Structure 1
Amino acid sequence: MKSILFVCTVLVANGIAANVNRQDKVINQILHKVPKINEYFTECIIQTKISEDDTENGTLLLEEEDRIANKLTHCLYRKTGILGNDGKLNVDAAKSILTLIGVEQDEVNKIVNKCVSTAGIEEPDMAYAAFRCFEDDILH
């Protein structure tokens, strides 16, 4: 379950934008299988003090969207265990997610090795940088 929840950050960060694109729809389909995702998302919205209008209407400036996506990603990674208490990414969870969504095993290792290199970045920026890396490799 924790590994599926990792994918939720992709939807959360992209869900802030006003227009829903094809990638978001694919991610949304994956997320509908995730138990507790709405609970975690709601908790993180409250914790990061983001208004529902901002997330639903895309009323934020681009730099504000990045700041909020960064905070949401960090919060969700922490709640789901994708980001450990030590601030490091859970490599096993990342590999499980990629496998779950149909990425070939040899690609799973390449993607995870590439994206884990964000570990030098400080929290919470590291979680968002890793999210962007996974998103780029998963959806492109």
Structure 2
Amino acid sequence: MKTFLFLVFVMAVAGQAVEAHNVHLSQAQKEKAQQYTVECQKETGVKPELLLEAKQGKLSDDDALKKFTLCFFKKSGIVDDEGKLNVETALSKLPEGVDKADAKKLLEECRKKTGKDAADTAFAILKCYSQGTKTHVLF
């Protein structure tokens, strides 16, 4: 379930693609995502308005938002300390309604993204996935 939260965060901030379809989180998943959000917001000091904008698909090039992304992804077990994405783990946690073949192709592409540090790399992965996915998780 931790890995799934990566996808929850990514899909929650994904832009509203015309061909997008939606899947829903369970109550337990919603609670875990909220817990990680609160913890990472405290740890990074990211402004709530930046998180709201990100949820609407507007990803600001803000250091605190990048650190938040890394924090959330690490807590969810999706990336390691260097920001490296574990594609297989992410795929194993996808909810019903997500095309795993499409997701794997996109995750493999996004895995190649790098930045100047772990937070920058995690943010690059987030941007890549959010721009490429057609599936959005609602919570």
Quick check: 1:8–1:31 contact (8 Å CA) kept in 2? no
Deviation at 1:101, TM superposition (A): 4.5
Deviation at 1:117, TM superposition (A): 0.6
C-alpha distance after superposition, 1:113-138 (max 9, x if no partner): 21111146531111011111111221
- In proportion to residue count, which structure has more helix? 1
**Equivalent in the alignment of 2:7:** 7
Q: Point out where structure 2 has 5 or more consecutive residues left out of the alignment.
A: 54-58
One-letter identity of the residue aligned with 1:78: K
1:117 counterpart residue number? 112
Please tell me the root mean square deviation across aligned C-alpha atoms, in Å: 3.5
Is there any run of 5+ residues in structure 1 with no aligned partner, and where? 16-20, 59-63
Deviant stretches of 4+, over 4 Å: 53-56, 97-101
Task: Indicate the structure (1 or 2) with the bigger Cα radius of gyration.
Answer: 1
Taking every aligned residue pair, what percent have the same amino acid on both sides?
Answer: 26
Matched residues, number? 127
User: In 2, Cα distance between the equivalents of 1:70 and 1:86?
Assistant: 13
Query: What TM-score, normalized by structure 1, do the two folds share?
Result: 0.68
Q: Is the 1:6–1:97 Cα contact (8 Å) retained in structure 2?
A: no
Which amino acid letter does the alignment assign opposite residue 105 of structure 2?
A: K
Q: Structure 2 length normalisation: TM-score? A: 0.68
Which 10-residue stretch deviates more, 83-92 or 39-48?
83-92
Residue 136 of structure 1 pairs with residue 134 of structure 2? no
